[in-house]
Amino acid sequence: MSKRRLDAVDKRIVEWLSRDARTSNRHIAAELGVTEGTVRARIKRMEEEKLIRITAVTNIDRFRDAALAYIWIEVERSSQAREVAEQLAAMKELGFVALMMGRFDILAITMVRNYEDLAEFVHARITGLEGVRRTESTLGVNFVKHDYRMARIVG
């Protein structure tokens, strides 16, 4: 199956779904001036081609007793970065793991209750991984903007 780029109608469907994934195909079709079948078929195609995934997300603003922790990881040799990242990705506590460009090689993100829990997790689970040279952690304490729909592409 060959993947194709999203056209203008696909992008507008995704915009509607990103606001509320429960929006009916009929409502989206009426707003876009296309048939309900068109909307249904395009959503199905985009899901099959893994261009979109419809899912529920937690609202981190509701977790008053938890903070988002950013764990920046430097590896000893750049050739170890992917292997370390894959080990991190297997940890259920981490919701995000990415290879990075810049000062650190990897960014991992998780939720913690406090600095003590963060320190315990980093020291017990991350710094002992082979190839990890050092870590630096920060806590997000007050989010000015948090848009879980980060898939928008600039440009």
What CATH number is given to the structural domain containing 125? 3.30.70.920
Low-confidence residues of the chain: pLDDT under 70? 1-3, 57-64, 146-155
Q: Is residue 38 part of a domain?
A: yes
How many domains, the chain? Answer: 2
Give the burial string for 70-84 (b: 16+ CB within 10 Å, else e). bbbbbbeeeebbeeb
φ, ψ at 22 (rounded to 5°): -90, 0
Q: Where residue 14 sits, what CATH number does that domain have?
A: 1.10.10.10
Say if residue 83 is in the same domain as residue 127.
yes
The model's pTM: 0.68
Domain with 78, as residue range(s), is 60-140
Tell me whether residue 155 is in a domain: no
- Per-residue pLDDT at 154: 45
